[in-house]
Amino acid sequence: MAKVEQVLSLEPQHELKFRGPFTDVVTTNLKLGNPTDRNVCFKVKTTAPRRYCVRPNSGIIDAGAAINVSVSLPSPWVKPPSLLTCKTDSGPHGFPAPTLPQ
């Protein structure tokens, strides 16, 4: 299988850091940038969907634009039901999105 070209720019590039205190939900941001001249669809996945909540977990990034994605880590002592229902898989995926005529 051919290697897929990286479409999106990520900030931070390699890892997200969650800063405590961990007595409540802790949130950090991932910036997804689209350096291309076309709209790009994205979907963020996690290998631990019951542990992390990603919002928005999918969408479209306009050409040359960027968005912030919030990644939340619930406290090990408090498990809000809204965070336990977040469904995602692993890693950000990007692919060109066709433009629809208006």
Chain-centre distance of CA 61, in angstroms?
12
pLDDT tens for the chain, residues 1 to 102? 667 678 899 999 988 898 888 888 899 999 999 999 999 999 998 888 888 889 999 999 999 999 999 999 887 765 554 444 444 445 555 555 554 444
| 3-state DSSP assignment of residue 83 | helix
For the whole model, what pTM was predicted? 0.70
Structural domains in the chain?
9-96 (2.60.40.10)
Structure tokens at 89: 């898989």
